[in-house]
Structure 1
Amino acid sequence: MLYRVARGIVRFVLFRWFRITVEGIHHLPEDGPAILVSNHVNYLDPLVMGVVFERPLHFMAKAELFEFRPLGWLLRRLYAFPVRRGEADRGAIRHALKVLADGHVLAMFPEGTRSHTGVLQDFQRGATMLALRSGAPVVPMVLLGAADALAGGRKVPRRVPLTVRIGPPLRFENGHGGPAVTAARDRLRAAMAALAPHGAHCESRPPTGSPND
């Protein structure tokens, strides 16, 4: 109930502040487990993801956010759960696998942290490890324009166009060992880079020094 109310409020605000275009929404399965992955540049990313998709999203969020009890209480009721970064957090892995086993959508940022340049960073292996262990499809997406909205350290975003571009689901079925996870991770990053208009550069403008400047 709280998720639905919060989503409605945030959706009302975002769709009136930004001009949001969504491409490929049909790629997210209407039911059953799925892992939705996106690039990550700032706080707009999870907000836009949450309002674009009708199905509730279960986000992994850094454990530090849950240390302030009122915020932790709220995040848990919005289906977020903590993960300790920089280590194999077995509790978070078990929770993520249960989310998928129960037929829900797990939302992740495979870079592991924000990109301050708009360029896709190296991916962590968590998303593809969970995909291999659960058999759930991975749906790649990129959010374009969020970096422009908060450029220059702005706190209040500029009213810029935002584009959500979603690609076809990927399935990884070639084993569970380290090489299989690494190969799947590289395939996922390539799929997300292909969704960006300037390769791995996930801003609405081409990077400085490109032939399109």
Structure 2
Amino acid sequence: MSQIALPLEQNPKADHGRYLVTAANAEVHQHLQHWGDWSHHTMILTGPEASGKTTMAAAFEADSGGMCIDDASQYEDTEIFHLWNRANGEKQPLLLLSAKPVSEWGVELPDLQSRLAASFHLEIGAPDQAMIDGLFQKYFAMRGLTISADALAYLEKRMIRSYSMVQKLAKKMDALAIETKKPINLAIAKSALTFFDADGEKVKA
């Protein structure tokens, strides 16, 4: 369930070294720090693939002692119903994660529908430029590498702006750097981008 850690404004910063915070996820970050204010002690956090929901949830769980449910849409209605009731009764936070909005969970239990509707909802926004740059930098820093400024500038103007695309490009640039024994530079960035089509799908082996 591991994901690239998430990345205020143009200078991304790490929260205790666990994930990065930019305008794209700053609101989520703030509310995770103030879980005592959540409606019925439950928050539903949605966001696209690879947007860092699991990473943020792990940090929240360690800090709050609350419970996190990943892929909440895959659980039975009765399971979520009982967890919601327990969180509300014990006043302990419950964080429900999903890539899908609640409207797409297929909830059939009326009592659960009303409880989820009354809960606090937040969505991780699309990645801003500070987020994208921060994610690339974090990915390569974890491998003892750096990505050049001109490579970042090149990708900024041409890549699909999504969390999953950052992940795909970072892995491809990493592989190319190993194959060619070169640093993560402009040439590597250009080569990596040619492996993906306009929808971000792989077009070369």
- TM-score normalised by the shorter chain: which range applies? 0.3 to 0.5
Q: Which has the higher helix share?
A: 2
Name the TM-score, length of structure 2 as normaliser.
Answer: 0.39
Name the TM-score, length of structure 1 as normaliser.
Answer: 0.38
> Which of structures 1 and 2 has the larger relative contact order (alpha carbons within 8 angstroms, sep 6+)?
1
